[in-house]
């Protein structure tokens, strides 16, 4: 019988984004003082940062929302393995109008597009307005959002995703201005390093590359190879050192 299963998915990634262990540890120390009681993770994937926060907050509960069933299953399995299953829920639903919230700490890491039906670049401001409604006075939001480190050239844009446009993201200063306009004060501003980006991009591709090397004649090899080559080219020829990831700790204005 021919094996029709494809490559494993994202097993080399700890976080679904350019986030290092050192930075996540610093974030957790900062976000747990004062201690939130409820944590909401929008577009959570498998919710690794939320689970680590709950490990550091013995009395807290968490809810993760995402549409990807495989990621949610991975999150539930991780919660079970860490003894957190009774304190965290993973829900398969849209984050546009979540049925949960508000929460003392709201995470939205690389998922602002999931909070609104607005198109870029308006989606960022719309997502920030939604986040402001989900956090009470005294709470906090951790927003992970893409921005242009510098204006992309026409050649770089042509190498990115279909329809890539230089107006769809803001620069860092413009992004922070949007958070203030939405009713927040930015208490901490940091950005992913080149090393974090390289670890993320390499980890994102690694499962597939190793599978392709071992299964060159597999029925799914050709389409998988085209997909992974296209993604790698978009990174190396397009958004590498052009697109950044900002991690903004936001405090709502009372």
Query: For 14, what's the count of Cα atoms within 13 Å in the CB-facing half-sphere?
Result: 13
pLDDT score at 101: 86
Query: What is the helix (H) or strand (E) element at residue 49, kind and residue range?
Result: helix 48-56
Handedness of CA 155, 159, 162, 166 (dihedral sign): negative
What are 118's two structure tokens? 């607005």
Whether 18 contacts 197, CB under 8 Å? yes
pLDDT tens for each residue of the chain, 254 residues long: 445 688 999 999 999 999 999 999 999 999 999 999 999 999 999 999 999 999 999 999 999 999 999 999 999 999 999 999 999 999 999 999 888 889 999 999 999 999 999 999 999 999 999 999 999 999 999 999 999 999 999 999 999 999 999 999 999 999 999 999 999 999 999 999 999 999 999 999 999 999 999 999 999 999 999 999 999 999 999 999 999 999 999 999 99
pLDDT score at 1: 40
DSSP state of 235: I
CA angle 59, 138, 28 (to 5 degrees): 50
Biggest CA–CA distance in the chain, Å, is 63
DSSP state of 141: E
Residue of 214, 204, 212, 207 whose CA lies nearest to 234: 204
Domain spans in the chain, listed from the N-terminal domain onward: 21-196+233-252
What SS3 class is residue 189?
strand
pLDDT score at 99: 86
Per-residue burial over 93-124, b if 16 or more Cβ lie within 10 Å, else e, is eebeebebbbbbbbbbbbbbbbbbebebeebb
Query: For 253, what's the count of Cα atoms within 13 Å in the CB-facing half-sphere?
Result: 9
Whether 243 contacts 147, CB under 8 Å? yes
What contacts 109, CB < 8 A, 6 or more positions away?
Answer: 15, 16, 17, 19, 41, 43, 49, 142, 143, 144, 247
- Using CA atoms, how far apart are residues 154 and 136, in angstroms rounded to an integer? 42
Beta-strand relationship, 61-66 and 38-42: parallel
Query: What is the helix (H) or strand (E) element at residue 125, kind and residue range?
Result: helix 122-134
Domain 21-196+233-252 has CATH 3.40.50.150: yes
Residue of 80, 34, 89, 86 whose CA lies nearest to 56: 34
What are 90's two structure tokens? 């993973």
């Amino acid at each position: 019988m021919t094996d029709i299963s494809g490559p494993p998915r994202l097993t080399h990634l700890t976080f679904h984004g350019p986030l290092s262990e050192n930075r996540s540890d610093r974030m957790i120390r900062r976000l747990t003082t004062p201690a939130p009681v409820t944590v909401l993770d929008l577009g959570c994937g498998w919710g690794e940062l939320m689970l680590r926060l709950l490990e550091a907050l013995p009395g807290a509960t968490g809810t993760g929302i995402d549409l990807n069933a495989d990621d949610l299953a991975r999150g539930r399995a991780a919660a079970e393995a860490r003894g957190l299953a009774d304190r965290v829920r993973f829900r398969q639903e849209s984050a546009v109008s979540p049925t949960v919230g508000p929460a003392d700490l709201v995470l939205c890491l690389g998922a602002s597009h999931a909070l609104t039906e607005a198109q870029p670049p308006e989606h960022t401001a719309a997502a920030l307005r939604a986040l402001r409604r989900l956090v009470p006075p005294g709470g906090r939001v951790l927003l992970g959002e893409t921005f242009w480190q510098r204006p992309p050239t026409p050649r770089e844009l042509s190498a990115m995703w279909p329809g890539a446009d230089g107006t769809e993201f803001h620069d860092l200063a413009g992004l922070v201005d949007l958070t203030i306009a939405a009713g927040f004060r930015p208490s901490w501003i940091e950005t992913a390093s080149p090393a974090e980006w390289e670890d993320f991009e390499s980890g994102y591709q690694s499962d597939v590359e190793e599978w392709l090397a071992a299964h060159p004649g597999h029925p799914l090899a050709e389409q998988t190879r085209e997909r992974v080559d296209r993604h790698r080219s978009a990174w190396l020829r397009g958004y590498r050192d052009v697109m950044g990831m900002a991690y903004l700790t936001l405090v709502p204005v009372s």
